[in-house]
Structure 1
Amino acid sequence: MSSPDAADPQPVEAKRPTDHLPPVEAPTAAFIMQLFLIPLAIVSIVVLLWLSFSWLAQAGRDDPKKLVEELRRGTDVSWQSGYTLAEVLRSPDPRYDELRRDSSLAKELVSLVESDLAHPLHGGNDKGDVLRIKRRMFLCRAIGSFNVLDGAPLLARLANEEKDPLEVSVRLSALEGLATLARNVGAEELRKDDKVVQAVLEASRAVEDSAVPTPKSADGEYQPRSEVRAVAAFTLGVIGGEKARDRLTLMLNDPYSSARYNAATGLCRQGDEAATRVLKEMLAADNPQAAKDETTAADKDRKRIAVLVAGVQGTMALAEHNPQADMQPLIQALKDLSTDPLEQLKSDRTKVQNLATEAYRRLEKRG
């Protein structure tokens, strides 16, 4: 094909294929009806039918009664109802405030989990087991999202129940549920149940079972019980109290970085300067510990960012809860972070730098 700038030869007058066609006439109303209006009507009907089916499919999606009915059936997809119910309860929508205070519903969900626990898993990564574990996980999250304490004993139990390796996921969800519950009902209220506190303390001491092989990779190793310790440390930080504080202080030396970092941020909420050493580690841009337990490059990047952000937030929490704390080492760490090029990060560099800069300026003004 020639370029637009090239000189085109003059066209030769040729016989057109339309020379023998009948003359063009204006289209009739019947023709327009057939060509446009009828197909438009068909398309409109199809769209209306699709919208109707869509509405029917969504109707009752956030109806707790229908969701509980589906959960009672215990089908292979009932875990999806558990997920939806957990999302409804966790929603900030005030329409669900009354639902979150529904003690009878909370007890019903507890009963569903207890009924499922009465039947042992088959073992060996059975497909049915996997679906049952999913269901338990989402029910734990839902139970933790209430503003009543009816589910606390069950969550405390599940935080340490592990008869099958798959149940580690349920332990994590139970601990997360307790942390959410502490926020909803108040940490002091949850601390009144010493069995709950003791259960979280026990979970914070979870150790890897050397008899059970864990999947390894060149970059990291999945350590499920270390993850349990990490989430337990976070939950202890939310629950607070002397027992939690003593345990978190010991966990500042935990070999698993996530557990160590959650212990530090938990102590910051209580204004404990003991967290300073670990906070400085978290705020270091070249911290080799931040992502060493992650496997993929994307996960490593996400974890590095999460650790840095948590370090900044923890520093500000320490300053807020302990105005007399010596913040100079952390102020210097924030200054260094705000000016670091953060070449280790693949994303969100500006976000981290801005966050560190703002925290540094605020603490500097405070003096």
Structure 2
Amino acid sequence: MSPSNPPDAPSYEQADFSADPGKLPDLPPVEVPSASFVVQLFVIPAVVVLVVIVVWLLFGKLAGGERDAMEYVRHIQSNSGSWRSAYELASLIQNDSKLGSDPRLLGELTDLLGAELDKKGDPKLIQYLELTLGAFQTLDATTSSGQAVDPIAVLARALEPKYETPIRMAAAASLAKQAARLNGKLDDARAVKALASAATDEVVELRQVAVYALGFFGGDAAAEALRERLQGDEDRFVRYNAAVALGRRGDQASAATLREMLSTSSLDRLIDLPTSTEKENKIEAIQHEALEAVDTSVSAGATGFAKGFNPELEALTRSGLAGVRSQAKEILQKLQSTPAS
């Protein structure tokens, strides 16, 4: 805030120019600025700039490359690190493509995760190490000693029932990220078997994320495990995850459940949430996932499968949800220009 005028200083708004238009009013007397004014004008902005520079330098150091990332690893290995160090490292890797493609960094973290699983270390540390492995853009992993290690095998091991549910869920989430990145080309028997087992667990949240992860794996074993969950799971959202995954492949086993997901009236009857806003948001999210599955099936060459949903797509072009309405129209236009296969 600027300082107020002294009590007897003239005001430009009050000056009378009518007597002599060529004469300007007297300017207020020049006074030495007070100490408080100097602080407001110069010192406080300088402090703000200094803080900004310090923060910039700090983040510059955090993003400074492999050496700093390996310092995090050594810090955790020395047992002086905590889950916060693993969390910060995961953020670092996610935002730096060079780090995310570093085989040695991935190898050291994979080896570290294996050691923590062996000794059943801090569960939070294990979870963030698992999520860190999911942030990488490569699966090539080699330790500093030159030993090749397998991140997928270690994450699959973390799904074993002897570990706590949050650890198993974090492992499934990271497997989902790696499999999704490879766009269905990851067909690892150990991971698929571990996820299929977790998909039958009594904890529904674990089943949901395990089925979600299975949906990104290639191969017949993953597809069969998804069909089992689609047909036999008591949880609606486990079934929906399985239907979306199979629908992307053009698998007819998913058709009935996808129709349910695309039907606004069915979802309105089946989804029970405390408020109408929550319910509407949930319905929108479900329909977007189902539409994405139908759209992907077209790209996968299963145009005939996708055209089987024309009535549902037509109905959704009149949806009260703008995003759903737009997505349904785009898919219909794509189907009209694509011959059935």
* TM-score normalised by length of structure 2: 0.75
1:200 corresponds in structure 2 to: 195
Is 2:24 the partner of 1:27?
no
- Rate the CA distance shift 1:333–1:234 in 2: closer, same or farther, 3 A: same
1:257-336 matches, within 5 Å, as 257-288=236-267, 292=271, 300-323=279-302, 325-336=304-315
TM-fit CA distance, 1:282:
0.8
Q: Provide the aligned C-alpha RMSD in A.
A: 3.1
Whole-angstrom CA distance in 2 between matches of 1:67 and 1:292: 45
3-state SS, counterpart of residue 238 of structure 1: coil
Contact 1:273–1:318 under 8 Å retained in 2: no
- Rate the CA distance shift 1:353–1:75 in 2: closer, same or farther, 3 A: farther
> Which of the residues 309, 334, 338 maps onto 1:362?
334
Deviation readout 1:24-66 (Å, 9 max, x if unpaired): 984336x147574454232233223322442354343234234
Instruction: Please say which of residues 154-163 and 258-267 is displaced more in the overlay.
Output: 154-163
Whole-angstrom CA distance in 2 between matches of 1:255 and 1:136: 30
3-state SS, counterpart of residue 265 of structure 2: coil
Is 2:179 the partner of 1:182?
yes
TM-fit CA distance, 1:273:
2.2
Deviation readout 1:148-207 (Å, 9 max, x if unpaired): 1531111001123444xxx2222122112112222445644x42x42222112222222x
- Rate the CA distance shift 1:183–1:276 in 2: closer, same or farther, 3 A: same
Aligned residue-pair number: 301
Whole-angstrom CA distance in 1 between matches of 2:277 and 2:58: 35
> Which of the residues 84, 89, 101 maps onto 1:85?
89
Where does the alignment leave 5 or more consecutive residues of structure 2 unmatched? 1-6, 9-25, 141-149
Is 2:167 the partner of 1:170?
yes
Is 2:137 the partner of 1:159?
no
Contact 2:62–2:92 under 8 Å retained in 1: no
1:217-232 matches, within 5 Å, as 225-232=203-210
Instruction: Please say which of residues 40-49 and 313-322 is displaced more in the overlay.
Output: 40-49
3-state SS, counterpart of residue 175 of structure 1: helix
Letter in 1 for 2:90: A
Whole-angstrom CA distance in 1 between matches of 2:153 and 2:273: 33
**Percent identical residues:** 27
Letter in 1 for 2:84: Q
Is 2:69 the partner of 1:64?
yes
Whole-angstrom CA distance in 2 between matches of 1:56 and 1:322: 50
Contact 1:290–1:304 under 8 Å retained in 2: no
Is 2:140 the partner of 1:139?
no
Letter in 2 for 1:133: P
TM-fit CA distance, 1:235:
1.9
- Rate the CA distance shift 1:271–1:227 in 2: closer, same or farther, 3 A: same
Letter in 2 for 1:261: Y
Letter in 2 for 1:27: P
Where does the alignment leave 5 or more consecutive residues of structure 1 unmatched? 1-16, 19-23, 122-131, 209-224, 342-348
Contact 2:159–2:195 under 8 Å retained in 1: yes
Whole-angstrom CA distance in 1 between matches of 2:38 and 2:172: 60
- Rate the CA distance shift 1:197–1:279 in 2: closer, same or farther, 3 A: same
1:43 corresponds in structure 2 to: 44
Is 2:255 the partner of 1:255?
no
Deviation readout 1:56-85 (Å, 9 max, x if unpaired): 543432342343344345568x33332333
3-state SS, counterpart of residue 260 of structure 2: helix
